[in-house]
Structures are given as structure tokens and as C-alpha cells.
């Protein structure tokens, strides 16, 4: 049987028959359809500054500390809308940054 014929026959199955076929193929070829949540969980994140709040100078100082940028670069980053603070960092680092900035009235977004 050619692949085209096989696909044609599969396309003529109803939904119940198709589900049974998939199940039988999984059994026959020992395929595990369950996916471990660890493989789906994102490992690295980016942190964006969404809102500075009232304590802009304090936020600039924290950004300078977090990013190791110069004072001017930190100020420019704070004044730019939705600026990337740090990229490809762990969830723990994101939470630490978020806590520092939110304690000063700022708002971050973790993606």
C-alpha cells in the first residue's frame, strides 16, 4: 500500500475511528503521548520595566545595580517605555528583580 492510499483511507475515517487508530498506533509502536511538564516549563525569562512609579531616581539606581550599566545608560533605560532590563535569566533572578523594583513602586513584566 502506498502512502498516498493510506492517507486517503485515513482521511475517510470518522472522528471516533481516527481516535481509535491513533490509540492503536501508539500501542503498536510503544509511543508515550504524555509529556513531562518539566520539558514544557520555560527555563529562562526576560524582564521588562513597564512602569517606573514615583521613585524614578531610586529605580535608576536599582537598574544600575542590576544591569551593571552606567548611570546615564540606566537613566536612558528607565525613561524608555517597556525597556528590557535583563534577558535569559532564571525564574529566581526574575523574582528578585521584580521584588526590588516593585518595592520602589515600579512595575515589571516577565516574559
Q: How far apart are CA 14 and CA 94, in angstroms?
A: 48
Total structural domains within the chain? 2
Q: How far is CA 104 from CA 12, 25, 55, 68, 71, in A?
A: 62, 57, 6, 19, 18
CB 11 within 8 A of CB 5: no
Look up the domain containing 97 and give its range.
41-110
Query: 24 with 49, same domain?
Result: no
Query: 52 with 104, same domain?
Result: yes
Query: 45 with 30, same domain?
Result: no
Tens place of pLDDT per residue across the chain (111 aa)? 688 888 888 889 888 888 888 888 888 887 765 555 555 567 889 999 999 988 899 999 999 999 999 999 999 999 998 899 999 999 899 999 999 999 999 899 998
Query: 54 with 78, same domain?
Result: yes
Query: 29 with 56, same domain?
Result: no
Q: How far apart are CA 55 and CA 110, in angstroms?
A: 21
Amino acid at each position: 500500500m502506498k502512502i498516498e492510499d493510506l492517507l486517503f483511507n485515513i482521511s475517510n475515517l470518522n472522528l471516533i475511528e481516527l481516535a481509535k487508530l491513533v490509540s492503536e498506533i501508539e500501542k503498536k509502536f510503544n509511543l508515550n503521548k504524555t509529556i513531562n511538564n518539566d520539558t514544557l516549563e520555560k527555563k529562562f525569562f526576560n524582564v521588562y520595566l513597564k512602569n517606573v512609579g514615583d521613585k524614578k531616581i531610586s529605580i535608576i539606581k536599582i537598574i544600575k545595580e542590576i544591569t551593571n550599566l552606567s548611570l546615564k545608560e540606566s537613566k536612558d533605560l528607565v525613561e524608555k517605555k517597556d525597556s528590557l532590563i535583563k534577558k535569559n535569566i532564571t525564574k529566581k533572578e526574575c523574582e528578585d528583580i521584580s521584588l526590588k523594583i516593585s518595592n520602589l513602586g515600579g512595575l515589571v513584566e516577565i516574559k
